[in-house]
Amino acid sequence: MNSLATIRDRYQQDDLATRLGGLAANLARVSSFSKNSANNDAVYGLLEESKYFIEWSAGDADPDVAVQLVQLHVPLARWQRHWASIWSDAARREDLARQARLWSDKVLDVSGI
């Protein structure tokens, strides 16, 4: 089994609230780690992992939460697509950090944790 499948299997053992809490924690890390430009690889990896967390959770969520998760997936993918230009610009990186924090709070709220 590859490591992604191992991560997925472990992630999906938790209830949905816990999984969403993990996604919220990842987004909070994105926000925090974005303050230091040396964290490029770590933040990019957290974005990638967060997209998987969304994919592995949306199907188990009620429709309203699933829609919100899909809406979150879009900016994560957009950030990755424009990664070099975002990360090299302190103002854009700060905006990414702010948006990630807002999403973290929103996901934590819908998780019920």
Closest CA to 100 of 17, 11, 35: 35
pLDDT of residue 28: 98
- The CB density around residue 50, as the number of other CB atoms within 10 Å, is 25
pLDDT score of 113: 84
Buried b or exposed e, range 55-64, using 16+ CB within 10 angstroms: ebbbeebeee
pLDDT of residue 97 exceeding 80? yes
> What are the residue boundaries of the structural domains of the chain, listed by start?
3-111
Predicted pLDDT at 112: 86
Digit-coded pLDDT (tens) for 17-30 = 999 999 999 999 99
- Give the position of tokens 């697509």: 81
The highest-level CATH class for domain 3-111 is: mainly alpha
| Cα 5 from Cα 9, distance rounded (Å) | 6
In this predicted structure, the answer to whether residue 106 has a pLDDT above a threshold of 60 is yes
pLDDT in tens, 78-95: 999 999 999 999 999 999
Q: Which amino acid is at 70?
A: V
